[in-house]
């Protein structure tokens, strides 16, 4: 019996271990990195940290990592706390690590490390694992309009896109990709019976406002997404006019017990009028236990696609797209989840990224639709959801192929029976990156990936009018 209890406790504890993340906010990119623990210290991948910020190339022999970031050269030795950046020594707080030819740096040294590389002011909130490069923090301010019903107006110094969730007695706004900072005080109280308090916290790379409320709140956005207005909704009433579930003298009711989570864009009544940046969903194929193709003895397709996706995100963001990665760490997703990510957000374009050691250059695929399917009234078969967008997808494929060719990539465009392309109802392509003249090593070369990512982004931009995007 004791063994059974111990086993249950062990698995409960194991299940509750939270994955750790670090969020980086900079003027050129916002991204999240997985945090690893080694010998009691926290680490993040060095290339993954620098790639979204600029041009990176690197080589490693498993013991020594040589890296070039823009015009800055650096060298780091596995197991050593001392490295060299731009000809000067740099001291890590714990030893540098190389695993599978990838370098990892201690989280405790990030502030000093990035200052040396990017030469900008770096503010690292280490306990929350939120790293700000430059003065880009978004300041919130609160104003309570004590009417009937009351409204809490939260103004931000820049557009925000939080995930909003409701739970009994509170509404939570999670800022995963916005560099929102504290309003000055961790907790703000309001002189109102319904909306009583706003509490700020930040943890594991995410900032959060929890709004204490005794009634369900409705969120709406305005002012180019710089303002969020939370209004108390009217309580549903029973036939005798009493708020449901409430008797006289009882405490005010809580919002529905079942927690609900919606993205800000899906909040009903959203009165956004300013044009939003078009959304590109970039899907690094495979992940987690699904390694994809074995590109070499130690290199898995899932790792190449993730790094490639981060570079493509940067390239698309600099060309005016908002970009969502289906995964930003080594996690597994089903094919249906990947399709749902594009469909749910009504993306302008869905790009699935693959890598293969076979052949050279790159291959761009569109869906090879199956026999079954076709529309049934307003419903379309899941396996042929791509049909209405296929023509535009082919135009995107041709444009990407043309840009890759301009950049000296041997290119093939073709159709493939490849999920989840068939299940995506927005324009969708898959790009399979193959080695260049340098062989399989090219697949991990930041320079090679960067050229491919820039060409793909140029291709997408060249047909943005066909994607329904204003130039």
CB of 289 to other proteins, least distance (A): 12
CB of 226 to other proteins, least distance (A): 43
Answer yes or no: are the C-beta atoms of 173 and 167 closer than 8 Å.
no
160 vs 362 by CB, closer to other proteins: 362
66 vs 412 by CB, closer to other proteins: 412
Answer yes or no: are the C-beta atoms of 323 and 462 closer than 8 Å.
no
Q: Determine, following the binding rule CB under 8 A, whether residue 387 of this chain makes contact with other proteins.
A: no
**Element spanning 308, H or E:** helix 301-318
Answer yes or no: are the C-beta atoms of 346 and 352 closer than 8 Å.
no
- Chain positions 367 to 386 lying near other proteins, rule: CB under 8 A, are 368-372, 383
54 vs 361 by CB, closer to other proteins: 361
130 vs 354 by CB, closer to other proteins: 354
- Chain positions 260 to 299 lying near other proteins, rule: CB under 8 A, are 286, 290, 292-294
CB of 441 to other proteins, least distance (A): 18
Task: Spell out, one character per residue from 396 to 435, where the chain touches other proteins: x when CB under 8 A holds, - when not.
Answer: ----------------x-xxxxxx--x-------x-x---
Of the candidate residues 6, 262, 358, 375, the single one contacting other proteins (CB under 8 A): 358
Contacts 24+ apart (CB under 8 A), 256-263: 256/166, 256/168, 256/216, 257/168, 259/165, 259/166, 259/167, 259/168, 260/165, 260/166, 261/163, 261/164, 261/165, 261/166, 262/163, 262/164, 262/165, 263/161, 263/163, 263/164, 263/345
129 vs 286 by CB, closer to other proteins: 286
128 vs 416 by CB, closer to other proteins: 416
Q: Which stretch binds other proteins (CB under 8 A): 82-90, 183-191, 304-312, 351-359?
A: 351-359
Q: Determine, following the binding rule CB under 8 A, whether residue 354 of this chain makes contact with other proteins.
A: yes
DSSP 327: -
Of the candidate residues 156, 365, 425, 448, the single one contacting other proteins (CB under 8 A): 365
CB of 434 to other proteins, least distance (A): 8
| Number of residues in contact with other proteins under rule CB under 8 A | 30
Buried b or exposed e, range 247-271, using 16+ CB within 10 angstroms: eeeeeebbbeeeeeeeebbeeeeee
CB of 359 to other proteins, least distance (A): 6
Task: Spell out, one character per residue from 106 to 145, where the chain touches other proteins: x when CB under 8 A holds, - when not.
Answer: ----------------------------------------
283 vs 432 by CB, closer to other proteins: 432
- ∠ Cα 311 315 319 (to 5°): 165
272 vs 416 by CB, closer to other proteins: 416
> Strand pairing of 82-85 and 88-91?
antiparallel
Q: Give the whole-angstrom CA distance, residue 292 versus residue 135.
A: 40
140 vs 292 by CB, closer to other proteins: 292
Non-local CB neighbours of 107 within 8 Å, separated by 6+ positions: 22, 35, 41, 42, 43, 44, 126, 129
Backbone angles phi, psi at 395, to 5 degrees: -65, -40
- C-alpha torsion sign, points 35, 39, 41, 43: negative
- ∠ Cα 201 270 241 (to 5°): 90
Task: Spell out, one character per residue from 325 to 344, where the chain touches other proteins: x when CB under 8 A holds, - when not.
Answer: ----------x---------
CB of 309 to other proteins, least distance (A): 16
CB of 412 to other proteins, least distance (A): 6
Q: Determine, following the binding rule CB under 8 A, whether residue 301 of this chain makes contact with other proteins.
A: yes
Token pair, residue 163, equals 């995930």
Q: What is the DSSP string of 336-356?
A: HHHHHHHHHTT-SEEEEEEE-
CB of 370 to other proteins, least distance (A): 4
Q: Is 404 helix (H, G, I), strand (E, B) or coil?
A: helix
230 vs 353 by CB, closer to other proteins: 353
Q: Determine, following the binding rule CB under 8 A, whether residue 458 of this chain makes contact with other proteins.
A: no
359 vs 388 by CB, closer to other proteins: 359
Non-local CB neighbours of 225 within 8 Å, separated by 6+ positions: 159, 160, 161, 264, 272, 274, 276
Nearest to 430 by CA among 401, 407, 409: 401
Note the residues at the interface with other proteins (CB under 8 A): 286, 290, 292-294, 301, 335, 354, 356-359, 363, 365, 368-372, 383, 412, 414-419, 422, 430, 432
């Amino acid at each position: 019996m004791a063994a059974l209890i111990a086993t249950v406790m062990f698995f409960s504890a194991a299940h509750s271990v939270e994955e750790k993340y670090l969020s980086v906010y900079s003027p050129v990119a916002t991204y999240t990195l997985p945090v690893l623990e080694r010998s009691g210290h926290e680490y993040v991948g060095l290339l993954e940290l620098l790639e979204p910020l600029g041009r990176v190339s690197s080589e490693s022999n498993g013991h020594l990592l040589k890296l070039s970031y823009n015009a800055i050269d650096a060298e780091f030795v596995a197991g050593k706390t001392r490295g060299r950046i731009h000809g000067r020594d740099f001291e890590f707080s714990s030893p540098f690590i190389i695993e599978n030819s990838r370098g990892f740096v201690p989280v405790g040294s990030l502030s000093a490390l990035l200052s040396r590389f990017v030469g900008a002011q770096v503010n690292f909130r280490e306990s929350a694992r939120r790293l700000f490069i430059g003065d880009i923090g978004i300041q919130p301010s609160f104003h309570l309009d004590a009417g009937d019903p009351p409204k809490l107006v939260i103004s931000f110094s820049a557009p925000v896109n939080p995930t909003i969730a409701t739970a009994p007695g509170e509404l939570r706004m999670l800022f995963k990709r916005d560099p929102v900072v504290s309003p000055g005080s961790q907790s703000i109280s309001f002189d109102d019976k319904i909306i009583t308090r706003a509490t700020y916290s930040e943890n594991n790379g995410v900032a959060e406002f929890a709004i204490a409320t005794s009634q369900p709140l409705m969120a709406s956005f305005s002012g180019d997404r710089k303002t969020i207005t939370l209004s108390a909704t009217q309580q549903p009433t029973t036939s005798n006019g009493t708020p449901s579930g409430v008797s006289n003298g009882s405490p005010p009711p809580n919002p529905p017990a079942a927690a609900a989570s919606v993205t800000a864009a899906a909040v009903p009544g959203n009165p956004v009028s300013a044009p939003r940046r078009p959304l590109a969903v970039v899907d690094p194929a495979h992940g987690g236990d699904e390694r994809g193709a074995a590109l070499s003895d130690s290199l898995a397709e899932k790792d190449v696609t993730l790094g490639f996706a981060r570079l493509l995100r940067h390239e698309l963001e600099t060309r005016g797209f908002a970009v969502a990665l289906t995964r930003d760490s080594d996690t597994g997703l089903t094919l249906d989840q990947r399709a749902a990510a594009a469909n749910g957000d009504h993306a302008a374009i869905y790009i699935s990224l693959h890598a293969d050691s076979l052949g050279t250059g790159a291959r761009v695929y569109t869906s090879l639709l199956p026999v079954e399917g076709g529309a049934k009234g307003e419903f379309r078969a899941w396996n042929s959801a791509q049909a209405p967008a296929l023509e535009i997808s082919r135009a995107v494929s041709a444009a990407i192929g043309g840009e890759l060719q301009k950049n000296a990539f041997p290119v093939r465009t073709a159709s493939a029976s490849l999920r989840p392309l068939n299940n995506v109802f927005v324009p969708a392509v898959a790009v399979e990156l193959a080695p260049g003249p340098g062989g399989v090593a090219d697949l991990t070369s930041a320079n090679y990936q960067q050229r491919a990512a820039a060409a793909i982004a140029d291709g997408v931009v060249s047909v943005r009018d066909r994607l329904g995007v204003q130039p």
